[in-house]
Amino acid sequence: MSKKLSVVVSVYNEEAALPLFYQTTKPILEALPWDWEILFVNDGSVDGSLTCLREFAARESRVKLVSFSRNFGHEAAMLAGIDHASGDGIVCMDADLQHPPECLPEIVAKLEEGCGVISMVRTRNASAGLLKNITSAGFYWVINRLAEIHLEPNASDFFALSRQAADVLRMHYREKVRFLRGYVQNIGFHRVTIEYEARDRVAGESKYSLRKLFAFSMNAILCFSNLPLRLGIFAGIFAALCGVAVMIYTLCTRGGAPSGYATIVIVNCFMFAMLFVIVGIIGEYIAILFSELKDRPLYIVEEKENL
Ligand code: UDP
Ligand code: MG
Tens digit of each residue's pLDDT (9 = 90 or more) over 224-275: 888 899 989 999 999 999 989 988 888 888 766 667 788 888 888 989 999 9
Q: Is the CB of 73 under 6 A from ligand 1?
A: yes
Predicted pLDDT at 139:
87
Cα–ligand 2 centroid distance for 261 (angstroms): 55
Question: What are the CA-CA distances from residue 75 to residues 114, 194, 246, 253, 256 (Å)?
Answer: 25, 21, 51, 61, 62
Query: Does residue 78 contact residue 10 with C-beta atoms inside 8 Å?
Result: yes
Mean local confidence (pLDDT), 174-196? 91
- What confidence score (pLDDT) does residue 198 get? 82
CA distance 63 to 96: 17
Phi, psi angles (nearest 5°) of residue 72: -115, -5
Nearest-CA residue for atom 23 of ligand 1: 206
What is the model's pLDDT at position 126? 62
Question: Residue 77: CB within 6 Å of ligand 1?
Answer: yes
CB atoms within 10 A of CB 137: 12
Q: What's residue 293's pLDDT?
A: 95
**Which segment of 95-109, 115-129, 181-195, 234-248 scores lowest on mean pLDDT?**
115-129
Taking the centre of ligand 2 as the mean of its atom positions, its distance from the CA of residue 111, in whole angstroms, is 24
Residue type, 256: G
pLDDT of residue 164: 94
In short, whether 96's Cβ falls inside 6 Å of ligand 1 is: yes
Asked whether residue 86 carries a pLDDT value surpassing 90, the answer given is: yes
The protein residue whose alpha carbon is closest to atom 24 in ligand 1 is 206
Q: Tell me which residue of 3, 193, 32 sits closest to 110, measured CA to CA.
A: 193
Q: What is the pLDDT of residue 216?
A: 86
Which ligand is in closest contact with the Cα of 205?
1
pLDDT of residue 194: 92
Does the beta carbon of 71 sit less than 6 angstroms from any atom of ligand 1?
yes
3-state helix, strand, coil in the chain (%, to 5): 50, 20, 30
- Specify the residue with its C-alpha closest to ligand 1, atom 3: 74
Query: Under 8 Å CB-to-CB from 87, ≥6 apart: which residues?
Result: 3, 4, 5, 6, 36, 37, 163
The finding on whether 95 has its CB within 6 A of some atom of ligand 1 is yes
Q: Is residue 170 within a helix (H) or strand (E), and if so which, with residue range?
A: helix 163-171
Task: Give the number of whichever ligand sits closest to the CA of residue 80.
Answer: 1
Q: What pLDDT score does 128 carry?
A: 66
Say how many Å lie between the CA of residue 35 and the centre of ligand 1: 26
Q: Residue 223 — pLDDT band, cuts 50, 70, 90?
A: confident
Of residues 166, 173, 199, 27, the one with CA closest to residue 83:
166
One-letter amino acid at 12 equals Y
CA dihedral 153, 156, 157, 160 (to 10 degrees): -100
The backbone torsions φ and ψ at residue 137, rounded to the nearest 5 degrees and listed phi first, read -65, -40
pLDDT given for residue 127 in this prediction: 62
For residue 196, the surrounding DSSP H or E stretch is: strand 191-198
Residue 111: C-alpha distances to residues 120, 135, 288 (Å): 13, 33, 35
Higher pLDDT, 213 or 187: 187
Q: Is the CB of 74 under 6 A from ligand 1?
A: yes
pLDDT: which is higher, 107 or 247: 107
Ligand 1 pocket: which of 7, 20, 69, 96 to mutate (most atoms within 8 A of CB): 96
Quick one: DSSP state of residue 14? -
